[in-house]
Amino acid sequence: MSTVLVVPGLHGSGPAHWQSWFERQVEGSIRVEQSNWDEPNLARWAGSLRQELDRARGHVWIVAHSFGCLATAHVAQAYRERIAGAMLVAPADPDKFGLSNTLPDEPLGFPSVVVASTNDPWVRVMRAAWLADRWGSRFVNIGAAGHINVDSGHGPWRDGLEIFNLLRRSHGDFPLGPLDAEGDKPAGPRRRRGDGRRSQFDWVKYLGSA
């Protein structure tokens, strides 16, 4: 059994957002709710994520967007034994919230991918690439896709779902051991590596610019 935690960004993700579509497509999805979606308080948002991580069963996968990516990075080190992998889409620039010195300056400790756009108003693409390198994440540039939200036309996002499925099907070093083909059962113990970039992903089909 596995759990998929969907972590929206500032103002939440409405019914037309790709994260809401993901929840309908991916079995075991749970949205991490915030008491105030309009106040990007890192400590509170991270606290809500911690509560869901503590309640979750089995391997935990995270699908985060914007400020939700920062909350995910903030809790990563404490939960590296629980999190199987994370897809971090359009991470907001920590500098916009005065958080550059608050987030980890080392690999997250589990396989992860940062998906970014060349014209995102919340983060420059090179800054997103720098965050990916800092966190030990695979970096995927999908071109001019805005903030990868409803405004940029990302409701049903099949390419995003493909990226997530590639992450789940990867056969790298997972914190809780590698997963089977269905992505929900441990296949036995395996030595953990701290750098998610060392996991083996078959990105070639989709990610020509990765």
Q: Is the pLDDT of residue 181 over 70?
A: no
Report the pLDDT value the prediction gives residue 54, as an integer from 0 to 100: 96
Which band of pLDDT confidence, cut at 50, 70 and 90, is reported for residue 114? very high
138 dihedral zone (left: phi>0; alpha: psi -120 to 50; beta):
beta
Closest by CA position to 72, among listed 39, 42, 101, 98:
42
| Average predicted confidence (pLDDT) for the chain | 82
What is the percentage of the chain residues whose pLDDT exceeds 70? 81
Q: Work out the angle at residue 65's Cα, subtended by the Cα atoms of residues 62 and 66, and round it to the nearest 5 degrees.
A: 135
Question: Residue 43: exposed, middle, or buried by beta-carbon count in 10 A (0-12, 13-18, 19+)?
Answer: exposed
User: What's the CATH number for 2-198?
Assistant: 3.40.50.1820
Region 117-143: mean pLDDT is 94
Closest CA to 110 of 70, 58, 168: 168
Q: Rounded distance, CA 210 to CA 201, Å?
A: 11
182-203 pLDDT tens trace = 334 333 333 333 444 433 344 4
Going from N- to C-terminal start, the domains of the chain cover: 2-198
What pLDDT is attached to residue 171? 46
DSSP 3-state of 151: helix
pLDDT band for position 77 (50/70/90)?
Answer: very high
- The structure tokens 């701290």 sit at 194
- 3-state SS class at 205: coil
Proportion of the chain above pLDDT 90, given as a percent: 62
Mean pLDDT of 119-137: 94
pTM for the structure as a whole: 0.81
Residue range 15-48, pLDDT digits in tens: 889 999 999 999 989 999 999 989 999 999 999 9
Beta-carbon contacts of residue 43 (< 8 Å; ≥ 6 apart):
none
Q: What is the pLDDT of residue 13?
A: 86
User: How many residues are given for the chain?
Assistant: 210
pLDDT number for residue 86:
97
